[in-house]
Amino acid sequence: MKIMVAIKRVVDYAVKIRVKSDKSGVETSNVKMSMNPFCEIGLEEALRIKESGLASEVIAVSMGPSQCVDTLRTGLAMGADRAIHVEASATLYPLSVAKLLKALVDVEKPGLLILGKQAIDDDCNQTGQMVAGLLNWPQGTFASKVVLDKEKEVATVEREVDGGLETLCLDLPAVITTDLRLNQPRYATLPNIMKAKSKVIKKFTPQELNVDIKSDLEVQGVIVSSVDELIDKLKNEAHVI
């Protein structure tokens, strides 16, 4: 069984975030970028599953600008067998990433897709749920423990919920998103960092995967001039109150 892990390049967790001078977003030039911490936990879990003999290959995937290759190299140095980069310069929202992941799953056919529960730059916490919906796969989000049964093709996932812990049994293939307490990711060793430099990273474009990434967040609306007008529209046009 292959395991695919989605890893995102984000502003390093220790960096103090600065807003761009034109207020259009977060400053990312000349800022230390790293692998999203929840994705590191996801990759660590995939590596542990492989090391216990329950998976044959770990594939790290990342979507975004050319610098994502650095993050993928870190993933390869940690122990991923292969890496795939979907190069896209446009801003990628969770639905676009989920569509790209689904396309990669259709190509690679992994038995398990692991993501972080959220990316620490946008804090969306949406991509795992969306890709599970698109794939029509069961999902175990906020996982704090994962146990695989290869014979029965089932993953038992303990997940952190508001009231405590919930245990789910998921038929494989499935989507899992990682929470903080799942594991403590390893550091890449120097020899593995050197070896990772020569590993080939496969590239795709969104077009090659037949994914249109432009139209996700088009919101149509009107600006109303007063609260009274808003209430009138909600009552008489949208009929929601």
Interaction mask 29-58, ligand AMP, x per CB under 6 A: -------x-xx-------------------
CB of 174 to ligand AMP, least distance (A): 15
Residue 116 interacting with ligand AMP (CB under 6 A): yes
State whether the Cα torsion 67-68-69-73 is positive or negative.
positive
Total residues at the site for ligand AMP (CB under 6 A)? 22
| DSSP-assigned letters across all residues of 141-165 | EEEEEEEEETTTTEEEEEEEETTEE
Quote the CA–CA distance of 201 and 128 in Å, as a whole number: 23
Quote the CA–CA distance of 76 and 35 in Å, as a whole number: 12
Residue 126 interacting with ligand AMP (CB under 6 A): yes
Pairing of strands 201-204, 9-11: unpaired
Residue 137 interacting with ligand AMP (CB under 6 A): no
Among 49, 97, 112, 113, binds ligand AMP (CB under 6 A): 97
CB of 27 to ligand AMP, least distance (A): 18
Largest CA distance in the chain: 68
Residue 28 interacting with ligand AMP (CB under 6 A): no
Among 43, 50, 59, 62, binds ligand AMP (CB under 6 A): 62
Pairing of strands 164-171, 154-161: antiparallel
Among 15, 26, 69, 124, binds ligand AMP (CB under 6 A): 124
- Quick one: how far is CA 137 from the chain centroid? 16
Find where tokens 């502003």 sit: 11
Among 3, 46, 63, 80, binds ligand AMP (CB under 6 A): 63
Q: Select from 23-31, 118-126, 183-191, 193-201 the region that touches ligand AMP (CB under 6 A).
A: 118-126
Pairing of strands 33-35, 9-11: antiparallel
Interface contacts to ligand AMP, rule CB under 6 A: 6-8, 36, 38-39, 62-64, 92, 94, 97, 115-116, 118-119, 122, 124-128
